[in-house]
Amino acid sequence: MLKKTAIATALAATALVGVGQVHADDYVVDTEGQHAFIQFKINHLGYSYILGNFEEFSGQFHYDPEDLEASSVEMEVNVNSLNTNHAERDRHFLSDDFLSAGDHPTATFVSTGFEPTGDNEGTLTGDFTLKGETREIEMPVSLMGEGEDPWGGYRAGFEGSTMLTLADYGIDMSDFPEVMHELELYITFEGVRQ
């Protein structure tokens, strides 16, 4: 029941928001330093929430403050890295009842456009693929900050979230209450300029 990846993230693509640089740059999402997260939240029977994340993913983005339409983001997520802090539930989520991770071990997000909506924020559009199904999604994103880091590099950080309808990705939730038919995907990450 996860629609994250790429989202997410990708997801991830929040890197398209306006910042004060004077030229375009390529960034790699900092997963090695664990400064990137793809998380999800889904209602549980109307009583509480199940929270989880994907622990293995990668991504990069190209950002051009002078030409936002030329900016782009790509994310790839290892679906089998799902973690909700409950091993039995994780196995169930990864089974054919939900994600079919054995047949579809990877989820991806590839951006197709970005529309600024205000200072340092906008709406990212892209193709999100999960369980072999690709759907266009929109994700409001915002710049958290950018600048030099203590190790001589340059970083930019972003966050974004969106709601995903599980049925769009072939995940049958008809036996569950309607409040469980959607999932909230949240991403936040730092990119290191190359």
Tokens encoding 41 = 């939240």
What does the alpha-carbon distance between residue 165 and residue 177 come to, in Å, rounded to a whole number? 13
Report the candidate in 103, 97, 59 with the shortest Cα–Cα distance to residue 80.
Answer: 103
Residue 155 carries which side chain, given as an amino acid letter? R
Strands 121-130 and 133-148: antiparallel
3-state secondary structure of 183: strand
pLDDT of residue 148: 93
Res 85 pLDDT > 80? yes
Residue 9 has a pLDDT of 37
pLDDT of residue 22: 39
Neighbouring CB atoms inside 10 A of 69's CB total 10
- Select from 131, 191, 189, 121 the least CA-distant residue to 164: 131
**The predicted structure's pLDDT at residue 68:** 67
pLDDT at 2: 41
Q: Is the pLDDT of residue 65 over 80?
A: no
Pick from 20-34, 92-106, 123-137, 167-181: least confident:
20-34
Query: Average pLDDT, stretch 157-177?
Result: 96
Q: Is the per-residue pLDDT at 18 higher than 70?
A: no
Average pLDDT for residues 31-44, to the nearest whole number?
A: 95
Q: Give the per-residue pLDDT at 24.
A: 58
> What is the pLDDT of the chain when averaged over all its residues?
87
Contact in structure between 158 and 141 (CB atoms under 8 Å): yes
Q: Please give the Cα distance from 146 to 191 (Å, whole number).
A: 9
Question: Tokens in use for 138?
Answer: 């929109």
Residue 104: strand, helix, or coil: coil
What are the structure tokens assigned to 141, written together? 């994103």
CA-to-CA distance for 34 and 101, rounded, in angstroms? 23
Q: How crowded is the C-beta side of 187, counted as CA atoms within 13 Å?
A: 40
* pLDDT value of position 23: 47
Model confidence at 13, pLDDT cuts 50, 70, 90, reads: very low
Tokens, residue 35: 């400064």
DSSP-assigned letter for residue 11: B
pLDDT at 70 over 80: no
Per-residue confidence at 63, pLDDT binned at 50, 70, 90?
Answer: confident
- Find out whether 159 and 186 touch, Cβ atoms under 8 Å: yes
Taking the C-alpha atoms of residue 171 and residue 96, their distance in angstroms, rounded to an integer, is 9
Residue 103 has pLDDT above 90, yes or no: yes
Mean pLDDT, to the nearest integer, of 36-57? 97
pLDDT digits (tens, 9 = 90+) for 105-158: 999 999 999 888 888 888 999 999 999 999 999 999 998 988 899 999 999 889
